Amino acid sequence: MDTQEQEQDFEELVLKESIVSASGMNSNNLLIGIRGDPSLRETTFDRKRYKSEADEHIDVLIPNLQELMLNRSAYKLFIGFNNGEIRTTSIFDPLREEIHSVAKMIDHSYIERQFPAVPYADKILLMRDMYNNLRANPIYQRLPTYWKNIMARRSAAWEPMEETEIVNVLSTLKTLRDMPTYYVRNVTISIVQSIVRMQFNCDGTQIVSAENYQKFLEENLATE
């Protein structure tokens, strides 16, 4: 096998073998389920439901989280309903993850101080510029050819999560949290990858493309 053929094989293998690959989720794989600890599934109905600070303040919390994803610097969001932990990643500091409490995140003045305002379109433009700058870096040029091909393919096809998809996901979280049996424990939303990752009290994990999110709810959770 010559070098070019090997590079092509590596490229296809990298794209196939990851749960969510360097090129994201493809049209044939818009929903991924990962089973967790079977003992947690078997004892789901025996464990007392816990009402957290996030549950108590969810009607204030959700609009604030929507504000920071649509109109401010955050591009990735983790909501831990059981422990009240909110994790964010900023477009202005993309390698650092910040941790916040629900008590802070329900204060709109805290949102204004912690997350600089930036229009959604400008945030997307910054993402594209950062990747363009990365690809121009001499260190990036030393990557194997198959990896540069993967990144080029992803860049050509990349579309971020749409604003309406963000609103749709966040607006349904209260319903998912209030479900009587299998309810959500934590949620991660990524604008860059356009995915929603959800863990439920039965310890299962669901990874759903943003465009497929409503269909997932209708088919699996009997909610609208």
Average pLDDT across each block of 10 residues of the chain; the chain has 224 residues. List them in order. 60 54 46 47 55 92 96 96 93 95 95 96 95 92 88 85 95 89 88 89 79 82 54
CA distance 31 to 150: 22
Residue 37 lies in domain = 29-119+160-221
Assigned token pair, 200 = 């439920």
79 assigned to some structural domain: yes
- Looking at residue 222, its pLDDT comes to 58
17 assigned to some structural domain: no
- Looking at residue 202, its pLDDT comes to 67
C-alpha pair distances (Å), 156 with each of 131, 152, 219: 12, 6, 31
**Burial class of residue 205, CB neighbours in 10 A (0-12, 13-18, 19+):** middle
42 assigned to some structural domain: yes
Q: Using alpha carbons only, give the angle 159, 59, 104 rounded to the nearest 5 degrees.
A: 85
Q: Of 194, 196, 73, nearest to 123 (Cα)?
A: 73
CA distance 101 to 107: 11
- Looking at residue 147, its pLDDT comes to 86
**What is this structure's pTM?**
0.80
128 assigned to some structural domain: no
24 assigned to some structural domain: no
- Looking at residue 157, its pLDDT comes to 82
53 assigned to some structural domain: yes
Structurally, the chain folds into a number of domains equal to 1
- Looking at residue 6, its pLDDT comes to 61
C-alpha pair distances (Å), 40 with each of 35, 84, 187, 199, 201: 10, 21, 18, 12, 8
97 assigned to some structural domain: yes
Q: Of 40, 86, 14, nearest to 182 (Cα)?
A: 40
- Looking at residue 1, its pLDDT comes to 56
Q: Of 42, 180, 175, 71, nearest to 198 (Cα)?
A: 175
Q: How many CB atoms lie within 10 A of CB 150?
A: 20
- Looking at residue 37, its pLDDT comes to 47
139 assigned to some structural domain: no
Amino acid at 27: S
Are the beta carbons of 179 and 45 closer than 8 angstroms? no
Strands of 107-165, DSSP E: none
